[in-house]
Structure 1
Protein backbone atom coordinates (compact mmCIF):
# COMPACT_ATOMS: atom_id res chain seq x y z
CA UNK A 1 0.00 0.00 0.00
CA UNK A 2 1.39 3.40 -0.95
CA UNK A 3 0.15 6.72 -2.18
CA UNK A 4 -2.53 8.84 -0.59
CA UNK A 5 -1.97 11.29 2.27
CA UNK A 6 1.35 11.13 4.11
CA UNK A 7 0.77 10.78 7.87
CA UNK A 8 4.39 10.60 9.02
CA UNK A 9 7.41 12.04 7.23
CA UNK A 10 11.03 11.95 8.40
CA UNK A 11 13.55 14.09 6.57
CA UNK A 12 17.23 13.58 7.34
CA UNK A 13 16.70 12.61 10.99
CA UNK A 14 19.96 12.16 12.90
CA UNK A 15 20.69 11.62 16.58
CA UNK A 16 24.12 11.81 18.18
CA UNK A 17 25.01 10.68 21.69
CA UNK A 18 28.49 12.05 22.31
CA UNK A 19 30.70 10.34 19.75
CA UNK A 20 28.02 7.85 18.69
CA UNK A 21 25.83 8.69 15.70
CA UNK A 22 22.94 6.36 16.56
CA UNK A 23 20.65 7.51 13.74
CA UNK A 24 22.09 9.05 10.60
CA UNK A 25 20.16 10.97 7.95
CA UNK A 26 17.02 8.78 8.05
CA UNK A 27 14.25 9.74 5.64
CA UNK A 28 10.98 7.95 4.86
CA UNK A 29 7.27 8.60 4.45
CA UNK A 30 4.33 6.62 5.80
CA UNK A 31 0.95 6.75 4.10
CA UNK A 32 -2.53 6.81 5.61
CA UNK A 33 -3.77 3.32 6.52
CA UNK A 34 -0.39 1.72 5.88
CA UNK A 35 1.42 -0.82 8.06
CA UNK A 36 5.12 0.03 7.85
CA UNK A 37 7.79 -2.22 9.40
CA UNK A 38 11.25 -1.10 10.51
CA UNK A 39 13.72 -3.96 10.73
CA UNK A 40 17.46 -4.40 11.18
CA UNK A 41 20.08 -6.03 13.41
CA UNK A 42 20.52 -5.16 17.08
CA UNK A 43 22.15 -1.76 17.37
CA UNK A 44 20.83 -0.59 14.00
CA UNK A 45 19.12 2.43 15.58
CA UNK A 46 15.51 1.25 15.37
CA UNK A 47 14.45 2.07 18.93
CA UNK A 48 16.34 5.37 18.80
CA UNK A 49 14.34 6.18 15.66
CA UNK A 50 11.09 5.33 17.45
CA UNK A 51 12.15 7.61 20.31
CA UNK A 52 12.73 10.41 17.79
CA UNK A 53 9.32 9.84 16.22
CA UNK A 54 7.49 9.79 19.57
CA UNK A 55 9.36 12.75 21.09
CA UNK A 56 11.41 10.95 23.75
CA UNK A 57 14.51 12.35 21.99
CA UNK A 58 14.92 15.53 19.99
CA UNK A 59 16.92 15.02 16.79
CA UNK A 60 20.44 16.42 16.46
CA UNK A 61 19.41 17.37 12.94
CA UNK A 62 16.56 16.72 10.53
CA UNK A 63 12.83 17.30 10.49
CA UNK A 64 9.67 15.33 11.35
CA UNK A 65 6.12 15.93 10.15
CA UNK A 66 3.07 14.31 11.74
CA UNK A 67 -0.22 14.66 9.87
CA UNK A 68 1.21 17.55 7.88
CA UNK A 69 2.49 19.50 10.91
CA UNK A 70 6.14 20.05 11.79
CA UNK A 71 6.57 18.40 15.21
CA UNK A 72 10.39 18.24 15.26
CA UNK A 73 10.60 20.29 18.44
CA UNK A 74 7.23 19.31 19.93
CA UNK A 75 7.07 17.28 23.18
CA UNK A 76 5.55 13.82 23.65
CA UNK A 77 2.20 15.06 24.94
CA UNK A 78 1.74 17.43 21.99
CA UNK A 79 2.35 14.60 19.52
CA UNK A 80 -0.03 12.36 21.46
CA UNK A 81 -2.81 14.95 21.40
CA UNK A 82 -2.19 15.49 17.68
CA UNK A 83 -2.64 11.78 17.00
CA UNK A 84 0.50 9.73 17.71
CA UNK A 85 0.27 6.68 19.99
CA UNK A 86 2.95 4.24 21.12
CA UNK A 87 3.00 0.76 22.64
CA UNK A 88 6.25 -0.43 24.22
CA UNK A 89 8.11 -3.75 24.14
CA UNK A 90 8.51 -3.72 27.94
CA UNK A 91 4.96 -3.46 29.22
CA UNK A 92 4.62 -1.22 32.28
CA UNK A 93 0.98 -0.94 33.30
CA UNK A 94 -0.06 0.40 36.68
CA UNK A 95 0.12 -3.03 38.37
CA UNK A 96 -2.33 -2.52 41.24
CA UNK A 97 -4.94 -0.80 39.09
CA UNK A 98 -7.47 -2.86 37.21
CA UNK A 99 -7.18 -3.51 33.48
CA UNK A 100 -10.15 -1.22 32.91
CA UNK A 101 -8.59 1.56 35.01
CA UNK A 102 -5.31 1.30 33.09
CA UNK A 103 -7.06 1.89 29.76
CA UNK A 104 -9.22 4.66 31.28
CA UNK A 105 -6.01 6.54 32.14
CA UNK A 106 -4.97 6.35 28.49
CA UNK A 107 -8.36 7.65 27.38
CA UNK A 108 -8.11 10.61 29.76
CA UNK A 109 -4.59 11.46 28.61
CA UNK A 110 -5.31 11.26 24.90
CA UNK A 111 -7.77 14.10 24.47
CA UNK A 112 -8.22 17.22 26.58
CA UNK A 113 -11.54 17.94 28.22
CA UNK A 114 -12.84 14.37 28.35
CA UNK A 115 -15.04 13.42 31.29
CA UNK A 116 -14.20 10.44 33.48
CA UNK A 117 -17.45 8.69 32.58
CA UNK A 118 -16.75 9.07 28.85
CA UNK A 119 -13.20 7.77 29.33
CA UNK A 120 -14.47 4.75 31.26
CA UNK A 121 -16.96 3.94 28.51
CA UNK A 122 -14.33 4.27 25.79
CA UNK A 123 -11.96 2.08 27.82
CA UNK A 124 -14.51 -0.71 28.09
CA UNK A 125 -15.17 -0.54 24.34
CA UNK A 126 -11.42 -0.97 23.76
CA UNK A 127 -11.28 -3.94 26.14
CA UNK A 128 -14.02 -5.57 24.06
CA UNK A 129 -12.11 -4.81 20.88
CA UNK A 130 -8.80 -6.17 22.17
CA UNK A 131 -10.29 -9.28 23.78
CA UNK A 132 -9.66 -8.13 27.35
CA UNK A 133 -13.24 -7.53 28.51
CA UNK A 134 -13.25 -10.73 30.66
CA UNK A 135 -10.17 -9.38 32.49
CA UNK A 136 -11.59 -5.85 32.97
CA UNK A 137 -11.75 -6.06 36.78
CA UNK A 138 -8.49 -7.95 37.28
CA UNK A 139 -5.42 -6.19 38.62
CA UNK A 140 -2.97 -5.62 35.76
CA UNK A 141 -0.26 -7.70 37.48
CA UNK A 142 -2.48 -10.80 37.17
CA UNK A 143 -2.39 -10.87 33.36
CA UNK A 144 -0.53 -13.34 31.14
CA UNK A 145 2.16 -12.07 28.77
CA UNK A 146 -0.22 -12.11 25.79
CA UNK A 147 -2.84 -10.25 27.82
CA UNK A 148 -0.14 -7.77 28.89
CA UNK A 149 0.62 -7.09 25.22
CA UNK A 150 -3.06 -6.60 24.47
CA UNK A 151 -3.34 -4.19 27.39
CA UNK A 152 -0.38 -2.19 26.09
CA UNK A 153 -2.05 -1.87 22.68
CA UNK A 154 -5.40 -1.00 24.29
CA UNK A 155 -3.79 1.75 26.37
CA UNK A 156 -2.15 3.20 23.25
CA UNK A 157 -5.42 3.01 21.31
CA UNK A 158 -7.20 4.79 24.16
CA UNK A 159 -5.33 7.98 23.23
CA UNK A 160 -7.21 7.84 19.89
CA UNK A 161 -4.13 7.83 17.64
CA UNK A 162 -4.13 8.25 13.89
CA UNK A 163 -0.61 6.77 13.80
CA UNK A 164 0.39 3.96 16.20
CA UNK A 165 4.02 3.04 16.93
CA UNK A 166 4.62 -0.54 18.12
CA UNK A 167 8.00 -1.52 19.58
CA UNK A 168 8.45 -5.31 19.26
CA UNK A 169 5.05 -6.12 20.75
CA UNK A 170 5.43 -9.76 19.61
CA UNK A 171 8.57 -10.28 21.72
CA UNK A 172 8.29 -13.30 24.01
CA UNK A 173 5.09 -14.63 22.49
CA UNK A 174 4.64 -18.22 21.34
CA UNK A 175 3.84 -18.66 17.60
CA UNK A 176 0.10 -19.09 18.17
CA UNK A 177 0.05 -16.03 20.44
CA UNK A 178 2.00 -14.03 17.86
CA UNK A 179 -0.64 -14.86 15.26
CA UNK A 180 -3.33 -13.56 17.63
CA UNK A 181 -1.31 -10.36 18.00
CA UNK A 182 -0.99 -10.11 14.20
CA UNK A 183 -4.77 -10.33 13.94
CA UNK A 184 -5.11 -7.57 16.54
CA UNK A 185 -2.77 -5.27 14.58
CA UNK A 186 -4.70 -6.01 11.40
CA UNK A 187 -7.91 -4.98 13.18
CA UNK A 188 -6.21 -1.73 14.23
CA UNK A 189 -5.34 -1.05 10.60
CA UNK A 190 -8.91 -1.92 9.63
CA UNK A 191 -10.17 0.87 11.87
CA UNK A 192 -8.21 3.41 9.82
CA UNK A 193 -5.11 3.75 11.99
CA UNK A 194 -1.68 3.75 10.35
CA UNK A 195 0.80 1.44 12.11
CA UNK A 196 4.60 1.63 12.24
CA UNK A 197 6.23 -1.31 13.99
CA UNK A 198 9.66 -2.64 14.89
CA UNK A 199 9.98 -6.41 14.74
CA UNK A 200 12.64 -9.15 14.66
CA UNK A 201 10.31 -12.04 13.82
CA UNK A 202 10.43 -12.16 10.03
CA UNK A 203 7.25 -14.23 9.48
CA UNK A 204 5.38 -11.50 11.40
CA UNK A 205 6.93 -8.83 9.17
CA UNK A 206 5.98 -10.87 6.11
CA UNK A 207 2.38 -11.28 7.28
CA UNK A 208 1.81 -7.70 8.44
CA UNK A 209 3.88 -5.14 6.57
CA UNK A 210 2.69 -3.29 3.49
CA UNK A 211 6.22 -1.88 3.20
CA UNK A 212 9.50 -2.41 5.05
CA UNK A 213 12.29 0.01 5.97
CA UNK A 214 15.61 -1.71 6.74
CA UNK A 215 18.20 -0.03 8.99
CA UNK A 216 21.83 -0.89 9.66
CA UNK A 217 24.33 1.12 11.68
CA UNK A 218 21.89 3.99 12.05
CA UNK A 219 21.11 4.34 8.35
CA UNK A 220 18.34 3.20 6.01
CA UNK A 221 19.84 0.66 3.64
CA UNK A 222 16.68 -0.48 1.84
CA UNK A 223 12.97 0.26 1.54
CA UNK A 224 10.22 -1.60 -0.30
CA UNK A 225 7.87 -4.54 -0.03
CA UNK A 226 8.84 -7.58 2.05
CA UNK A 227 9.71 -9.46 -1.13
CA UNK A 228 11.86 -6.61 -2.41
CA UNK A 229 13.89 -6.03 0.74
CA UNK A 230 14.46 -9.73 1.47
CA UNK A 231 15.87 -10.13 -2.04
CA UNK A 232 18.27 -7.21 -1.54
CA UNK A 233 21.86 -8.53 -1.19
CA UNK A 234 22.81 -5.68 1.17
CA UNK A 235 19.91 -6.55 3.50
CA UNK A 236 20.78 -10.25 3.42
CA UNK A 237 24.40 -9.49 4.25
CA UNK A 238 23.59 -7.03 7.04
CA UNK A 239 20.70 -8.77 8.73
CA UNK A 240 18.96 -11.77 7.24
CA UNK A 241 21.78 -14.27 6.82
CA UNK A 242 20.98 -17.43 4.91
CA UNK A 243 17.76 -18.18 3.10
CA UNK A 244 17.10 -20.96 5.60
CA UNK A 245 17.34 -18.52 8.52
CA UNK A 246 15.02 -16.07 6.79
CA UNK A 247 12.17 -18.57 6.52
CA UNK A 248 12.73 -20.28 9.88
Structure 2
Protein backbone atom coordinates (compact mmCIF):
# COMPACT_ATOMS: atom_id res chain seq x y z
CA UNK A 1 0.00 0.00 0.00
CA UNK A 2 1.15 3.51 -0.70
CA UNK A 3 1.47 6.51 1.63
CA UNK A 4 -1.07 7.51 4.24
CA UNK A 5 -2.29 10.64 2.47
CA UNK A 6 -6.08 10.63 2.25
CA UNK A 7 -7.39 10.55 -1.32
CA UNK A 8 -11.10 10.17 -0.49
CA UNK A 9 -12.81 11.13 2.76
CA UNK A 10 -16.52 10.75 3.46
CA UNK A 11 -17.81 12.59 6.51
CA UNK A 12 -21.27 11.68 7.73
CA UNK A 13 -22.73 11.06 4.26
CA UNK A 14 -26.49 10.45 4.30
CA UNK A 15 -29.05 10.13 1.53
CA UNK A 16 -32.80 10.16 1.99
CA UNK A 17 -35.35 9.24 -0.69
CA UNK A 18 -38.66 10.40 0.73
CA UNK A 19 -39.18 8.32 3.87
CA UNK A 20 -36.27 5.96 3.10
CA UNK A 21 -32.88 6.72 4.61
CA UNK A 22 -30.79 4.71 2.14
CA UNK A 23 -27.39 5.83 3.48
CA UNK A 24 -26.96 7.03 7.04
CA UNK A 25 -24.00 8.91 8.47
CA UNK A 26 -21.31 7.03 6.52
CA UNK A 27 -17.77 8.06 7.42
CA UNK A 28 -14.53 6.53 6.10
CA UNK A 29 -11.15 7.48 4.68
CA UNK A 30 -9.33 5.95 1.73
CA UNK A 31 -5.57 6.39 1.53
CA UNK A 32 -3.25 6.82 -1.43
CA UNK A 33 -2.40 3.55 -3.17
CA UNK A 34 -5.06 1.64 -1.26
CA UNK A 35 -7.55 -0.89 -2.58
CA UNK A 36 -10.63 -0.41 -0.42
CA UNK A 37 -13.63 -2.76 -0.64
CA UNK A 38 -17.20 -1.89 0.32
CA UNK A 39 -19.28 -4.97 1.05
CA UNK A 40 -22.66 -5.76 2.58
CA UNK A 41 -25.88 -7.70 2.02
CA UNK A 42 -28.29 -6.75 -0.77
CA UNK A 43 -29.99 -3.48 0.08
CA UNK A 44 -27.19 -2.36 2.40
CA UNK A 45 -26.77 0.95 0.53
CA UNK A 46 -23.53 0.18 -1.30
CA UNK A 47 -24.54 1.39 -4.75
CA UNK A 48 -26.25 4.46 -3.29
CA UNK A 49 -22.97 5.24 -1.54
CA UNK A 50 -21.07 4.84 -4.81
CA UNK A 51 -23.56 7.19 -6.47
CA UNK A 52 -22.92 9.73 -3.71
CA UNK A 53 -19.16 9.42 -4.20
CA UNK A 54 -19.33 9.79 -7.99
CA UNK A 55 -21.86 12.62 -8.01
CA UNK A 56 -24.91 10.82 -9.40
CA UNK A 57 -26.68 11.84 -6.17
CA UNK A 58 -26.09 14.81 -3.90
CA UNK A 59 -26.07 13.88 -0.21
CA UNK A 60 -28.92 14.91 2.05
CA UNK A 61 -26.21 15.68 4.61
CA UNK A 62 -22.49 15.17 5.04
CA UNK A 63 -19.38 16.15 3.09
CA UNK A 64 -17.03 14.47 0.62
CA UNK A 65 -13.38 15.39 0.09
CA UNK A 66 -11.40 14.21 -2.95
CA UNK A 67 -7.64 14.74 -2.95
CA UNK A 68 -8.01 17.43 -0.30
CA UNK A 69 -10.81 19.30 -2.10
CA UNK A 70 -14.42 19.51 -0.91
CA UNK A 71 -16.37 18.14 -3.88
CA UNK A 72 -19.73 17.64 -2.11
CA UNK A 73 -21.54 20.10 -4.37
CA UNK A 74 -19.65 19.34 -7.58
CA UNK A 75 -21.15 17.58 -10.60
CA UNK A 76 -20.08 14.17 -11.91
CA UNK A 77 -18.13 15.92 -14.67
CA UNK A 78 -16.34 18.21 -12.21
CA UNK A 79 -15.43 15.25 -9.98
CA UNK A 80 -14.09 13.42 -13.02
CA UNK A 81 -11.96 16.43 -13.91
CA UNK A 82 -10.75 16.55 -10.30
CA UNK A 83 -9.45 12.96 -10.49
CA UNK A 84 -12.35 10.58 -9.77
CA UNK A 85 -13.17 7.82 -12.28
CA UNK A 86 -15.91 5.19 -12.24
CA UNK A 87 -16.52 1.89 -14.01
CA UNK A 88 -20.10 0.62 -13.89
CA UNK A 89 -21.48 -2.86 -13.25
CA UNK A 90 -23.71 -2.72 -16.34
CA UNK A 91 -21.38 -1.92 -19.21
CA UNK A 92 -22.82 0.45 -21.81
CA UNK A 93 -20.20 1.19 -24.46
CA UNK A 94 -21.06 2.93 -27.71
CA UNK A 95 -21.87 -0.34 -29.51
CA UNK A 96 -21.21 0.69 -33.11
CA UNK A 97 -17.98 2.51 -32.34
CA UNK A 98 -14.73 0.57 -32.24
CA UNK A 99 -13.09 -0.43 -28.99
CA UNK A 100 -10.36 2.14 -29.62
CA UNK A 101 -12.91 4.88 -30.33
CA UNK A 102 -14.78 4.10 -27.11
CA UNK A 103 -11.64 4.59 -25.02
CA UNK A 104 -10.66 7.67 -27.04
CA UNK A 105 -13.93 9.31 -26.01
CA UNK A 106 -12.98 8.87 -22.36
CA UNK A 107 -9.48 10.18 -23.00
CA UNK A 108 -10.80 13.18 -24.92
CA UNK A 109 -13.44 14.33 -22.48
CA UNK A 110 -12.01 13.16 -19.16
CA UNK A 111 -10.02 16.36 -18.74
CA UNK A 112 -10.72 19.85 -20.11
CA UNK A 113 -8.89 20.85 -23.27
CA UNK A 114 -8.25 17.34 -24.55
CA UNK A 115 -6.77 17.01 -28.06
CA UNK A 116 -7.69 14.16 -30.39
CA UNK A 117 -4.17 12.95 -31.36
CA UNK A 118 -3.09 12.68 -27.72
CA UNK A 119 -6.41 11.08 -26.76
CA UNK A 120 -6.07 8.43 -29.45
CA UNK A 121 -2.51 7.66 -28.35
CA UNK A 122 -3.50 7.40 -24.68
CA UNK A 123 -6.45 5.19 -25.60
CA UNK A 124 -4.27 2.73 -27.47
CA UNK A 125 -1.79 2.57 -24.58
CA UNK A 126 -4.69 1.72 -22.26
CA UNK A 127 -5.91 -1.01 -24.62
CA UNK A 128 -2.48 -2.58 -24.38
CA UNK A 129 -2.52 -2.33 -20.57
CA UNK A 130 -5.98 -3.91 -20.33
CA UNK A 131 -5.34 -6.68 -22.86
CA UNK A 132 -7.61 -5.28 -25.56
CA UNK A 133 -5.08 -4.05 -28.13
CA UNK A 134 -5.82 -6.98 -30.44
CA UNK A 135 -9.49 -5.94 -30.46
CA UNK A 136 -8.92 -2.21 -31.01
CA UNK A 137 -10.68 -2.13 -34.39
CA UNK A 138 -13.63 -4.34 -33.44
CA UNK A 139 -17.04 -2.84 -32.87
CA UNK A 140 -17.73 -2.76 -29.12
CA UNK A 141 -20.80 -4.98 -29.50
CA UNK A 142 -18.56 -7.84 -30.69
CA UNK A 143 -16.76 -8.20 -27.35
CA UNK A 144 -17.24 -10.96 -24.80
CA UNK A 145 -18.43 -10.13 -21.28
CA UNK A 146 -14.89 -10.24 -19.88
CA UNK A 147 -13.67 -7.99 -22.69
CA UNK A 148 -16.62 -5.66 -22.01
CA UNK A 149 -15.51 -5.38 -18.39
CA UNK A 150 -11.95 -4.61 -19.49
CA UNK A 151 -13.27 -1.96 -21.88
CA UNK A 152 -15.25 -0.35 -19.06
CA UNK A 153 -12.12 -0.15 -16.91
CA UNK A 154 -10.07 1.19 -19.84
CA UNK A 155 -12.67 3.90 -20.51
CA UNK A 156 -12.61 4.92 -16.86
CA UNK A 157 -8.79 4.97 -16.78
CA UNK A 158 -8.75 7.10 -19.92
CA UNK A 159 -10.10 10.00 -17.84
CA UNK A 160 -6.79 9.88 -15.88
CA UNK A 161 -8.28 9.33 -12.42
CA UNK A 162 -6.31 9.23 -9.21
CA UNK A 163 -9.17 7.36 -7.55
CA UNK A 164 -11.15 4.71 -9.45
CA UNK A 165 -14.58 3.47 -8.31
CA UNK A 166 -15.55 -0.03 -9.47
CA UNK A 167 -19.14 -1.25 -9.15
CA UNK A 168 -19.19 -5.07 -9.08
CA UNK A 169 -16.99 -5.43 -12.12
CA UNK A 170 -16.71 -9.18 -11.46
CA UNK A 171 -20.47 -9.73 -11.79
CA UNK A 172 -21.31 -12.45 -14.32
CA UNK A 173 -17.73 -13.62 -14.76
CA UNK A 174 -16.66 -17.25 -14.44
CA UNK A 175 -14.06 -17.98 -11.70
CA UNK A 176 -11.12 -18.00 -14.12
CA UNK A 177 -12.33 -14.73 -15.68
CA UNK A 178 -12.75 -13.19 -12.23
CA UNK A 179 -9.13 -14.02 -11.44
CA UNK A 180 -8.07 -12.28 -14.65
CA UNK A 181 -10.07 -9.25 -13.56
CA UNK A 182 -8.37 -9.36 -10.13
CA UNK A 183 -5.03 -9.13 -11.92
CA UNK A 184 -6.29 -6.15 -13.89
CA UNK A 185 -7.35 -4.30 -10.74
CA UNK A 186 -3.97 -4.98 -9.14
CA UNK A 187 -2.24 -3.56 -12.21
CA UNK A 188 -4.40 -0.42 -11.92
CA UNK A 189 -3.17 0.09 -8.36
CA UNK A 190 0.42 -0.56 -9.44
CA UNK A 191 0.04 2.29 -11.93
CA UNK A 192 -0.59 4.68 -9.03
CA UNK A 193 -4.39 4.75 -8.98
CA UNK A 194 -6.23 4.13 -5.70
CA UNK A 195 -9.21 1.78 -6.10
CA UNK A 196 -12.52 1.60 -4.22
CA UNK A 197 -14.71 -1.32 -5.24
CA UNK A 198 -18.05 -2.90 -4.39
CA UNK A 199 -18.12 -6.68 -4.58
CA UNK A 200 -20.26 -9.65 -3.50
CA UNK A 201 -17.70 -12.36 -4.29
CA UNK A 202 -15.89 -12.79 -0.99
CA UNK A 203 -12.76 -14.58 -2.33
CA UNK A 204 -12.24 -11.57 -4.63
CA UNK A 205 -12.53 -9.21 -1.64
CA UNK A 206 -10.09 -11.39 0.31
CA UNK A 207 -7.57 -11.41 -2.55
CA UNK A 208 -7.79 -7.73 -3.47
CA UNK A 209 -8.69 -5.51 -0.55
CA UNK A 210 -6.19 -3.83 1.75
CA UNK A 211 -9.12 -2.79 3.94
CA UNK A 212 -12.86 -3.49 3.94
CA UNK A 213 -15.82 -1.29 4.88
CA UNK A 214 -18.92 -3.34 5.72
CA UNK A 215 -22.35 -1.75 5.29
CA UNK A 216 -25.72 -2.93 6.54
CA UNK A 217 -29.03 -1.06 6.42
CA UNK A 218 -27.33 2.06 5.10
CA UNK A 219 -24.74 2.31 7.86
CA UNK A 220 -21.12 1.29 8.37
CA UNK A 221 -21.17 -1.89 10.42
CA UNK A 222 -17.43 -2.56 10.60
CA UNK A 223 -14.13 -1.51 9.05
CA UNK A 224 -10.75 -3.22 8.97
CA UNK A 225 -8.78 -5.90 7.18
CA UNK A 226 -10.63 -8.81 5.56
CA UNK A 227 -9.67 -11.06 8.47
CA UNK A 228 -10.85 -8.51 11.03
CA UNK A 229 -14.25 -7.81 9.48
CA UNK A 230 -15.05 -11.46 8.72
CA UNK A 231 -14.46 -12.26 12.40
CA UNK A 232 -16.74 -9.42 13.55
CA UNK A 233 -19.89 -10.90 15.18
CA UNK A 234 -22.27 -8.31 13.66
CA UNK A 235 -20.81 -8.87 10.19
CA UNK A 236 -21.23 -12.64 10.56
CA UNK A 237 -24.85 -12.08 11.62
CA UNK A 238 -25.52 -9.80 8.63
CA UNK A 239 -24.27 -12.47 6.20
CA UNK A 240 -26.75 -15.32 6.61
CA UNK A 241 -25.98 -15.59 10.31
CA UNK A 242 -23.00 -17.95 10.03
CA UNK A 243 -19.29 -17.77 9.31
CA UNK A 244 -19.85 -20.44 6.64
CA UNK A 245 -22.42 -18.21 4.94
CA UNK A 246 -20.03 -15.27 4.95
CA UNK A 247 -17.24 -17.29 3.38
CA UNK A 248 -19.62 -18.66 0.74
TM-score by length of 1: 0.98
Alpha-carbon distance in structure 1 between the residues aligned to 2:112 and 2:62: 30
1:245 CA displacement: 3.0
Partner of 2:236: 236
Partner of 1:184: 184
Partner of 1:172: 172
Alpha-carbon distance in structure 1 between the residues aligned to 2:89 and 2:39: 15
CA-atom RMSD, angstroms?
1.0
Alpha-carbon distance in structure 1 between the residues aligned to 2:240 and 2:68: 34
1:240 CA displacement: 5.3
Partner of 2:146: 146
Structure 2 counterpart SS, 1:91: coil
Partner of 2:78: 78
TM-score by length of 2: 0.98
Alpha-carbon distance in structure 1 between the residues aligned to 2:171 and 2:240: 18
Partner of 1:38: 38
Partner of 1:59: 59
What aligned pairs does 1:1-248 form with structure 2 within 5 A after superposition?
1=1, 4-239=4-239, 241-248=241-248
Alpha-carbon distance in structure 2 between the residues aligned to 1:122 and 1:159: 10
Moved more, 110-119 or 98-107: 110-119
Alpha-carbon distance in structure 2 between the residues aligned to 1:193 and 1:240: 34
Do the aligned residues in 2 keep the contact of 1:230 with 1:240 (CA within 8 Å)?
Answer: no
Structure 2: runs of 5 or more not aligned: none
Alpha-carbon distance in structure 1 between the residues aligned to 2:16 and 2:2: 31
Do the aligned residues in 2 keep the contact of 1:81 with 1:111 (CA within 8 Å)?
Answer: yes
1:241 CA displacement: 3.8
Aligned in 2, Cα 1:2/1:125: closer, same or farther, shift over 3 Å? Answer: closer
Aligned residues: 248
1:244 CA displacement: 2.7
1:111 CA displacement: 1.2
Structure 1 counterpart SS, 2:239: helix
Structure 2 counterpart SS, 1:72: coil
Structure 2 counterpart SS, 1:56: coil
Aligned in 2, Cα 1:158/1:56: closer, same or farther, shift over 3 Å? Answer: same
Alpha-carbon distance in structure 1 between the residues aligned to 2:145 and 2:240: 27
1:113 CA displacement: 1.3
Do the aligned residues in 2 keep the contact of 1:99 with 1:137 (CA within 8 Å)?
Answer: yes
